[in-house]
Amino acid sequence: MTDPLKDEIRRWITVAENDFRAYSILAAQDMPPAMAVSFHCQQYVEKLLKAVLTINGKEITKTHDIRSLSIAASQYIPSLKAFIDDAAELTIYGVETRYPTATEISDSEMREAVEIATKTGALLQEYLLRRL
């Protein structure tokens, strides 16, 4: 793997980790902003999936669709297949939560997003760190 590719992967991981820190800090508040937490959960997983695709030489398309990204990445991480349906639930938080017309997210939905992002992200991070 070339140094420029390693640098690009590290940048994807860094921006993903920023989203992880953001949702972790926000979710720990007494009254967490559920929409913001859920958004950062989606972003964390999206960026790690894009890092997996990049490390495998795939061109990254401008999409927030966690299902399609997960399906593409699962050819490199077969165990990801077990996460696809749950992870796909995060997709809605990638765009819709950023607009005033968004449906409110319940505390339980937010907690589920945190759990999904944390589990899926751990699998993706493990794969990426082994490859770098």
Average pLDDT along the chain, 132 residues, taken 10 residues at a time: 92 98 98 97 98 96 96 98 97 90 94 98 98 93
Give the integer Cα–Cα distance in Å for 90 and 126: 20
DSSP state of 101: T
What the chain holds in terms of domains, given with CATH numbers, is: 3-131 (1.20.120.330)
DSSP state of 80: G
**Angle at CA of residue 44, ends 41 and 53, nearest 5°:** 140
Q: Which two tokens stand for residue 40?
A: 């950062």
pTM, 2 dp: 0.96
φ, ψ of residue 65 in degrees (nearest 5):
-80, 100
What number of residues does the chain have? 132
pLDDT at 46: 98
Q: Compute how many other C-beta atoms are within 10 angstroms of the C-beta atom of residue 45.
A: 32
Structure tokens at 10: 């590290």
What pLDDT was estimated at residue 64? 96
pLDDT of residue 26: 98
Query: What is the C-alpha to C-alpha distance for residues 124 and 132, in angstroms, rounded to an integer?
Result: 13
Predicted local distance difference test score (pLDDT) of residue 1: 81
